[in-house]
Structure formats: structure tokens, C-alpha cells
Amino acid sequence: MKKPIGVFDSGVGGLTVAREIMRQLPHENIVYFGDTARVPYGSKSPNTVLRFSRQIVNFLRTKDVKAIVVACNTASALALPTIQEEIDIPIIGVIEAGAKTACEVTRTKHIGVIGTEGTIKSRVYTQCLTKLDSDITVVGKSCPLFVPLVEEGLVEDRVTDDIASRYLGELKDYNIDTLILGCTHYPLIRNTIARIMGDQVKLVNPAYETTKSLKELLARKGLLMKEEKKEPVYEYYVSDAVERFISFADGVLPCNVSEENVNSIDIESYELGKDN
Amino acid sequence: MKKPIGVFDSGVGGLTVAREIMRQLPHENIVYFGDTARVPYGSKSPNTVLRFSRQIVNFLRTKDVKAIVVACNTASALALPTIQEEIDIPIIGVIEAGAKTACEVTRTKHIGVIGTEGTIKSRVYTQCLTKLDSDITVVGKSCPLFVPLVEEGLVEDRVTDDIASRYLGELKDYNIDTLILGCTHYPLIRNTIARIMGDQVKLVNPAYETTKSLKELLARKGLLMKEEKKEPVYEYYVSDAVERFISFADGVLPCNVSEENVNSIDIESYELGKDN
């Protein structure tokens, strides 16, 4: 089915998920939306994140997408359960798949989750994990400075080490053997996190498992693109200016991103009930 | 004149300006708006900041304000010049007053400015300062991590010292004797900045001078509130949930802020041309 897959995030972090889709599903067309005018979502309230996510879903539907991936952990936590009931095309987030992997990986059944304030406060990973296995105990920790540190380029830096040691220090007391990277920016400081947590703690990046779930879902629904020799089409939309997005995307994606395939749109006009 | 003064900011930082207005103009009524759903503005494009600011001005006009203070440096830099030509009530930002004070304070005529990426890139402080005195040289430096560090509560911390030393280190080579704190969050880490810059550099906080200019402006236009025994009325509006705003405001303002005088509104619906 030639219709594109819609992928959205609060900003550029979700490109790590788009990259995984390009790798695992190389024939699929993708429409990516990054809400760069209103980023970040992590410190905002559930109602606001839900309103923003609904506007984005409305926008993606105008692009005739066959399925939607919520590549943002905060939106997956705060908006996905509601939106899932409101639309008739498949929509998946990053949380279930990440939780499933963590469940398979853990031996001690003590799992840690790091993410934004919104994700951790929602306790959605805890609910998901204990539903999969009621013996599991979960400890969550929000890490508000990780996103600004990554965006400032301090990926390998003593300040990032210092902040990470404080955030993660608490988790080390809980004897966890598995840690979910519950925010799309965190895989970019994976090395720092791994060094502090030590070899005995396995890190789970939900992007990989989410894409596997997406593939299964599309296959089950008969929505997979038939293999073709044609190059897939990737389109990108953002709510703020395109320049900054292009420079970040160029560093993350394996393909060319330029002003030709990135457009800025007025996302606020996609409120349900307004004329689009 | 009993009409309130409108004050707006991208979030909570502008409360430091509101506090100064309460102090210098204790009889005036104030309507404050903080765009907490879309904060921060500092890394966003000029067009987006202008669109958001226009919506906020439209909202404040529905409250029948007699004048508007743009308490956000980024919005003052990127939106104020355009909006000033579009409306017929007095509107002032924080930049002109800050620049005027810096001009009066400097002896070496080498002035530094720190602020968000948007403020520094706009070069608006440089334009303002060199218009006041063409002999002045200005060096600007954006400090993207200061806002997240303050919001994380790391006001006195070795990490804030470390980051501040890197940002400000560059400025020390320029022999400046005056430094403008060109972002409303920065006065909250004034001590750290002062320690790194040393005694020979004077710090200018535009909030104080902006309020002095506001007072003069209102007097000139005959808009000052006549002194009364009645308590002033302070109303607060935000675009995200009220709880987080209340807890921050309580720490900054000298008066009581509670759910009774803080309301959450849908700022996106105040687009000009839409039905409000």
C-alpha cells in the first residue's frame, strides 16, 4: 500500500525513530512532523500535550497516512490512549514496545525508566510493565536537563557526566538490571548513561522495538508496501522555521534532507472543528 | 486610569518584571500572561515569535489594558518593532531601557550582552546601543543552558558555575565593564555571573529601568492610576496548566497567587482574524 506512514514528535528527537523505520522498512514512504514551534512537551500538562497531539494527527490525516507512529514518549504517555479511541487508522506509540523488550531482558525484575517529567509522572511505563508481569517493580526518574544538554551538543562532557551521575545515582540503589531510555533524545547520550550504570545494566532503546511492532502491525492489516524498485518518498513538516530542522536531521538521517522536502506549516490551524 | 497594565512573557521569567512594576507602581492593576504551553521562545524563529506575540497582544486587548509591557527579551527583540506599528496603545519592551542604562554605566564603552539565541542573533541590543552612542562596541553571547539550569533549581551549583565559566569566558577577553542580563531568568543566577565576571564588570538588569520608563510613559500620556486606598487587582493567565505557574509565582512575587486569580486559556484562538 503506497500511502505513507505518519511519524510525529515534539521536535527533532523522533528522527531517531524515523531512522529506524527507514532501516527496517526501506520501501515505505514517510511523512514526518516535528512540532518545533512548541517543543518541548516534557514539562507540559497532559491536556496541552493532548491538544497539540490531536492537531498533529489531524494534519497527518490530510496527508492520507495509512498508520501513525507517535515517536515522542511524552505524547505516547499522555495523548495516545485517548487518540487511539478517536481515529480509525492504526496508531502506535513507543512505550508498549519498549516495555515489552525490558520485560524480556530483565532477570532481577527490577526495571528503571528515565524520561521527561510528563512521561515519568504519568507512570505509564510502570502500568505497562506490571500489566505484562505483575512481579516486576519499576523505578522512574525524570531527567529534565538531558534534552537541553544534548541540544547544546554536550554529548561527551564533564557537565553531562556530573548531571547524569546525580540523576542516575538514585536508580543505582534499586538494584535494577534494565534501564529504559524513555525519551528519544537519550540514545544520543547512551555512552554516558552506560558508563555510569555499569555493565550489569542493559539499556533499552524503544525505537528499535517500536519499528518491529509497526512492521508486524502493517503486515497483519495488509498495509505493508509491496517491495518495489522505486525510491521511497520522505516528506518532513515542522511548525517552526526549516533551517534548524534541516541541520539536525542531516546529522541523524541516512538520506538527504533539504529545503525541497521540508516545509513549515501552521499546526494550530489543524484544530478539530476548525476549517482546514 | 483604572484600566490594567498588560504584561507578557514566554513563561514565568517575566514575573521578575511584574514584581518590579508592583514595587514601583503599587496602585496599578496588572494582567499578566505567560505562554507556558509554548515556552521557551529563545530558540524559535522570528516569524513564530511574532505570531505568538500577536496572539497574546490580541488576548490582552480583550482585557482592555491601557498599555503593554513585553517582559520577554526574545519577544522584545523579534516581535516588538512590528507590533508597535500595528496597535494604538502604548507598548514597550525590556531592551531599550536596558540599553540606556548600560550606556550610562559604561566607561570603557565596551558592553557585553547575554541572552537567548533569538535575542543575540537579532543583534537588537547592538543596534540600540550603537544608536545611543556610536563609539560603543558590543559583544553578545547566547547562553542556552541558563534557563533550563535555573528551572531545574541549580541556582548555586558547580555545574552552573562550570557552564557559566564557559559562556562568560569569551566575554572576558573583550575588556567589557558592563554586562546586560538580556533574559528575564538571568537575574536569578546573578551571583554566579557576578562572581565569574569580577567586581570591575557592572551587571544591568533591564527589569528595573523598564519599569521606570513605563512610569514615565504612563505619566506623559495621563494614564497613571490616581493613588487610591483600594488594593490593586492582579490577574494571571497562562496557556498551560495553572499549578506549576502558581508554585513558581509564589516564590517570585510579594503577593498571594492562587487558583482564584490564575486562569488557563487557549491562546491559539486569539489569532487575528479568527472569532474571539
Give the ipTM of the model, two decimals please.
0.89
Q: Let me know if B255 is a catalytic residue.
A: no
Helices A124-132/A95-105 angle, 10° precision:
50
* Mean pLDDT of all residues in B136-163: 95
Q: Which of A44, A162, A241 sits opposite B45 (nearest CB)?
A: A241
Split at pLDDT 50, 70, 90, the class of A230 is confident
What angle is formed at CA A159 by the lines to CA A155 and CA A160, rounded to 5 degrees?
A: 40
Instruction: Return the number of other C-beta atoms located less than 10 Å from residue A150's C-beta.
Output: 20
Please state whether the peptide bond connecting residue A40 to the residue before it is cis, i.e. omega within 30 degrees of 0.
yes
Amino acid at B259: E
pLDDT over threshold 70, residue B276: no
Assess whether pLDDT exceeds 60 at residue B34. yes
B20: left (phi over 0), alpha (psi -120 to 50) or beta: alpha
Nearest to A37 among B48, B162, B244 (CB): B48
Percent of chain A scoring above 90 in pLDDT: 89
Q: Which residue in chain A has the smallest CA separation from B266?
A: A48
Residue A274 has pLDDT above 70, yes or no: no
Residue for grid cell 497532559: A46
- Beta carbons of A172 and A195 less than 8 angstroms apart: no
What residue in B sits closest to A146 (Cα-Cα)?
Answer: B148
Mean pLDDT of chain B: 94
- Average pLDDT over all residues of chain A: 94
B113 grid coordinates: 550582552
Give the separation between CA A183 and CA A113, rounded to whole angstroms: 10
pLDDT at B13 over 50: yes
Query: How far is the first Cα of chain B from the last one, in angstroms, to the nearest whole number?
Result: 26
pLDDT, residue A248, reads: 86
Residue A241: pLDDT band by 50, 70, 90 thresholds?
very high
Task: Say whether pLDDT at B228 is over 80.
Answer: no
Which among B232, B216, B215 is positioned nearest to B28, based on CA atoms? B232
pLDDT value, residue A273: 54
| Strand residues in chain A grouped as ranges (E) | 5-9, 30-34, 67-70, 91-93, 110-115, 137-142, 178-182, 202-204, 234-238, 262-264
Instruction: Output the nine-digit C-alpha cell for A97.
Output: 514496545
8 A C-beta contact, residue A238 and residue A36: yes
Question: Using one digit for the tens of pLDDT, what is the confidence trace for B40-90?
Answer: 999 999 999 999 999 999 999 999 999 999 999 999 999 999 999 999 999
A48 neighbourhood in chain B, CB within 8 Å: 37, 239-241
pLDDT digits (tens, 9 = 90+) for A138-163: 999 999 999 999 989 899 999 999 99
For residue B248 the three cell numbers come to 513558581
* pLDDT, position A275: 44
Other beta carbons less than 10 A from residue B247's beta carbon: 11
Q: For residue A260, what is the DSSP state?
A: T
Residues B78-134 have pLDDT tens digits of: 999 999 999 999 999 999 999 999 999 999 999 999 999 999 999 999 999 999 999
Mean pLDDT value of segment B159-169: 97
Q: What is the pLDDT of residue A35?
A: 97
Exposed / middle / buried, residue B31 (Cβ in 10 Å: 0-12, 13-18, 19+): buried
Question: Which residue of chain A is at minimal alpha-carbon distance from B45?
Answer: A241
Position A232, amino acid = P
Q: How many residues does chain A have?
A: 276
Residues B259 and B249 sit within 8 Å (Cβ to Cβ) = no
Strands laid side by side in the B234-238 sheet: B91-93, B67-70, B5-9, B30-34, B234-238, B262-264
Residue A181 CA to residue A185 CA, distance in Å, equals 9
Q: What percent of chain B is modeled with pLDDT above 90?
A: 89
- Candidates B195, B128, B184, B185; CA nearest to B158 is B195
Burial class (CB in 10 A: 0-12, 13-18, 19+), A198: exposed
Alpha-carbon distance A209 to nearest alpha carbon in chain B (angstroms): 31
Is residue B122 within 8 A of residue B46, CB to CB? The reply is yes
- Residue A86 is predicted with a pLDDT of 96
Q: What mean pLDDT do residues B193-199 have?
A: 97
| pLDDT score, position B273 | 55
* Rounded Cα–Cα distance for residues B143 and B159 (Å): 14
The string of DSSP letters for B172-198 reads: HTTT-SEEEEESTTGGGGHHHHHHHH-
C-alpha cell read off for B181: 542580563
Has residue A276 got a pLDDT over 60? no
A173 contacts: CB under 8 Å, gap ≥ 6:
none
For A269, which DSSP code? G
pLDDT of residue B173: 87
Per the annotation, binding residues of A for substrate are: 9-10, 41-42, 73-74, 184-185
> pLDDT band at residue B153, thresholds of 50, 70 and 90?
confident
B258/chain A closest Cα distance in angstroms = 18
Q: How far is CA A122 from the centre of its chain?
A: 16
If one counts every other C-beta atom within 10 angstroms of the C-beta of residue B200, the result is 9
Nearest to B47 among A44, A149, A241 (CB): A241
Buried b (16+ CB within 10 A) or exposed e, B214-237: beebbeeeebbbeeeeeebebebb
pLDDT in tens, A52-107: 999 999 999 999 999 999 999 999 999 999 999 999 999 999 999 999 999 999 99
For chain A, the distance separating the N- and C-terminal CA atoms, rounded to the nearest angstrom, is 26
The rounded distance, in Å, linking the Cα atoms of B217 and A226 is: 69
Rounded mean pLDDT, A124-136: 97
Closest CA relative to residue A252, chosen from A184, A205, A193: A184
Which listed residue (B72, B103, B128, B143) is catalytic? B72
- The answer to whether residues A140 and A114 touch, using CB atoms and an 8 Å cutoff, is yes
Nearest to B37 among A48, A145, A158 (CB): A48
Over residues A20-45, mean pLDDT? 96
Write b or e for each residue in A4-22: b if 16 or more Cβ atoms lie within 10 A of its Cβ, otherwise e: bbbbbbbbbbbbbbbbbbb
Query: Is residue A90 a contact partner of residue A221, using CB atoms and an 8 Å limit?
Result: yes
Q: Give residue ranges of B with CB < 8 Å to any A CB.
A: 36-38, 43-45, 47-48, 144-145, 148-149, 151-152, 158-159, 162-163, 239-241, 244, 268, 271
Taking contacts as CB-CB distances below 8 angstroms, the residues of chain B near A43 are: 151, 244
Q: Chain B residue with minimal CA distance to A36? A: B44
